[in-house]
Amino acid sequence: MRSDPAALAGWGELNAPAGWRALDFISDLHLQDGEPATAQAFRHYLRDCAADALFILGDLFEVWIGDDLLDAAPAERSTETEYDFLAGICADLRAFSARRALYVMHGNRDFLLGARFAAASGATLIPDPTRLRWGEQRLLLSHGDALCLDDADYLAFRDQVRRPDWQAAFLARPLSERAALARGLRAQSEARKLDPQMHWADVDPTMAREWLRACQADQLVHGHTHQPARHGLGDGLQRLVLSDWDVDARPARAEALRLDADGWHRITLAG
């Protein structure tokens, strides 16, 4: 096995209540103050969503520098911290979660979402991966980044930023400093995207099967790669990949993957 088996150590389990008839899965919205059209599409989606439960599988936010942002004094609310924008999204989530079940998983951008965010949004934070039983179906939900084994540099970074001591040290810095660090990381990542030599790692199919077997699930649902598709993995196993959201792109991208009694449906929300 090439990956750290500890990645699976903390997997979660969730049993869907019998009353759930439709479940929605979304990820990689990368919500940010500078892209109001995508945030607006998300607000409309939350308002109109007919699913009984919504699972957000990581990277809801482009960046989340710490829950204490939500309690920052007005003087600390620089434009960098995007306080009004992020607090507004939390309020929209709160209105949604008053009516429906809402689950949020960390992505590689918003891995610092914590208890204060959960309280503000009404979301339940779930571990990566989480096995969800819905009737006879057993789904394994993941952001997907831990399965992209070819991206060694990123996996080393991921290990580092998930460590409690790293997170405590980061969160001890002032908000403005954290915002500046996050901006630097985003600029690096954007520069990487423009490099024509850059090879994009995809989910490793062997490891995906490994995870499904270990968690006794047969369908992996994940985001992160921004390559929406449905892939067979053999032996009746499959993985379903979520789309990212970017309403300003042409064609626009914003969709939810819905599971109901008739199976899977991709619901287009823009474009």
Cβ of residue 263: shortest distance to Mn ion, in angstroms? 26
Cβ of residue 143: shortest distance to Mn ion, in angstroms? 6
How far apart CA 97 and CA 19 sit, in angstroms, is 16
Answer yes or no: are the C-beta atoms of 24 and 55 closer than 8 Å: yes
Cβ of residue 224: shortest distance to Mn ion, in angstroms? 4
Return residues touching Mn ion (CB under 5 A). 59, 107-108, 224
Cβ of residue 30: shortest distance to Mn ion, in angstroms? 8
How far apart CA 102 and CA 170 sit, in angstroms, is 28
Place of tokens 């969160």: 171
How far apart CA 20 and CA 131 sit, in angstroms, is 16
Place of tokens 């405590």: 168
For residues 224 and 258, which CB has a smaller minimum distance to Mn ion in the complex? 224
Cβ of residue 109: shortest distance to Mn ion, in angstroms? 6
Cβ of residue 18: shortest distance to Mn ion, in angstroms? 33
For residues 121 and 142, which CB has a smaller minimum distance to Mn ion in the complex? 142
Question: What is the length of the chain?
Answer: 271
For residues 178 and 224, which CB has a smaller minimum distance to Mn ion in the complex? 224
For residues 227 and 238, which CB has a smaller minimum distance to Mn ion in the complex? 227
Q: Give the 3-state secondary structure of residue 36.
A: helix
For residues 122 and 228, which CB has a smaller minimum distance to Mn ion in the complex? 228
Answer yes or no: are the C-beta atoms of 124 and 112 closer than 8 Å: no
Residue 230 has phi, psi (to 5 degrees) of -130, 120
Copy the structure tokens of residue 75: 């003087």
Strand bridging mode 130-134 / 53-57: unpaired
Residue showing the smallest CB distance to Mn ion in the complex: 224
Cβ of residue 146: shortest distance to Mn ion, in angstroms? 11
For residues 24 and 59, which CB has a smaller minimum distance to Mn ion in the complex? 59
Q: Give the 3-state secondary structure of residue 229.
A: strand
How far apart CA 89 and CA 42 sit, in angstroms, is 9
Any residues with CB less than 8 A from the CB of 238 and at least 6 apart, and which?
A: 218, 219, 220, 230, 231, 232
How far apart CA 180 and CA 192 sit, in angstroms, is 19
For residues 91 and 161, which CB has a smaller minimum distance to Mn ion in the complex? 161
